[in-house]
Chains A and B, each alone.
Chain A
Amino acid sequence: MLAAYKTSIVLLTGLLLLYAFQGYYPEFMPFFSEAFLPLIAGAAVISSGFSLEKYWRRAKERFSVVWLFFTVGLFMWFVGETIWAGYALILSVEIPYPSVADVFRLSGYVPFFVALYLYVRTFGSALSRKTLAISSTITAVSVILVSAALIAPTTQAETELVTMIVDLAYPVLDLVLLSVSALGLLVFLKGDLGKSWALISAGILLNVFGDVLFSYTVSRGTYYAGHPVDLLFDFAYVFFLLAFYVHVKEL
């Protein structure tokens, strides 16, 4: 297991350095950032697939369903990333936004949410009502703050309503996922499974920051392929990949 952590640290450090010194190879970064996301998302799907292979018994069993939904959710995100990369690298066209890639990415939130919810619900009675109330309040406040932070720049940029909705949908859906994964983290924090839940929560948190910054930079017209914000999405997938690997190793 230590080897997996070490490999991940090397990968994350390598990515960080690659983005930090992109001034030296400006033509390579757009290609890399478009091509790496589907690769790392695919690796996360494979990691989740191994978990599914281990835990799957039948469709009526909750634990089996949890892993099926995790894998389906990640697979839809992978398809979204692949379509996005296809626009840029194969069709070489300006990527429409929103596009079919966003349909898959946004749809992926549903199975991912169901997986988190079913898992946490199994152990939900271990959480006090007070904890649940605090968690719900923090989520509601975060959703309001993120929405408020994003509505102003997107309306100023005179974006279309659909674009504005998609811009807001990503971070809001991330926060919904985060609210459930945080509960899972609270349940398992002191146990071996806490590592896996910490990694899942960290991955979702990175997506929250990534999606907020992506929407912000797009609305300001400062986003470009290879923008450091892409690093957050890369990191998030590495965290998901590791989370599912750790889960299989710990249980």
Chain B
Amino acid sequence: MRQALIEAVDEGLLTLGESGREAVYFHLKNTYFLKKEDFPDRPQAFDEALRKIFGVGAEVIERSVVKKLYSKLEIDFIEKKNYGFANYISDAARVANK
């Protein structure tokens, strides 16, 4: 699950292209003290940091990350209204740990 989430974030951030992804990682690390390896343990912090950078635009990146993660874990992705990023991640973790 951890590795799948790190890869999903990596691929999800490609929405911005490689340069955009690098810039986001740099910004997360230097401004929000979040490293790639921290994402599985701190999805809420990742969500908040992305929203501080992109505003509601963060939803697009997060949706992409969640879809990649669910696909990697072979879980059907069903979009729910007003369902936060961290909730999708904890749902995935629950299914993966079954």
Q: Which residues of A contact B (CB under 8 A)?
A: 54-57, 61-64, 122-127, 186-194, 250-251
Contact = CB atoms under 8 A, between A and B. Distances in A.
Interface of A is mostly: helix
14 contacts: A54-B19, A55-B20, A57-B18, A61-B19, A62-B17, A63-B20, A122-B15, A126-B56, A126-B57, A187-B55, A187-B56, A187-B57, A191-B52, A251-B24
Interface stretch (B34-42, B58-66, B69-77, B84-92): B58-66
B96 interface: no
Nearest to A189: B55
Contacts of B51: 190-191
B95 interface: no
B82 to A, nearest CB: 13
Contact of A191 (B17, B20, B58): B58
Interface string B1-24: 000000000000001111110011
A192 B57 contact: no
Given A63-B19, A122-B15, A251-B24, A191 B55 contact: yes
Interface of B: 15-20, 23-24, 27, 51-60, 63
Contact of B54 (A62, A125, A193): A193
B63 A191 contact: no
Contacts of A57: 17-19
Q: Which 10 A-B pairs have the closest CB atoms?
A: A191-B55, A63-B17, A61-B17, A190-B55, A123-B57, A55-B19, A63-B20, A187-B57, A188-B55, A191-B54
Contacts of B57: 123, 126, 187-188, 191, 193
Contact of A125 (B17, B19, B52, B60): B60
A122 B16 CA distance: 8
A130 to B, nearest CB: 14
Contacts of A186: 56
A64 B19 contact: yes
Given A123-B54, A187-B55, A188-B54, A251 B60 contact: no
Nearest to B55: A191
A193 B15 contact: no
B27 A193 contact: no
A127 B55 CA distance: 11
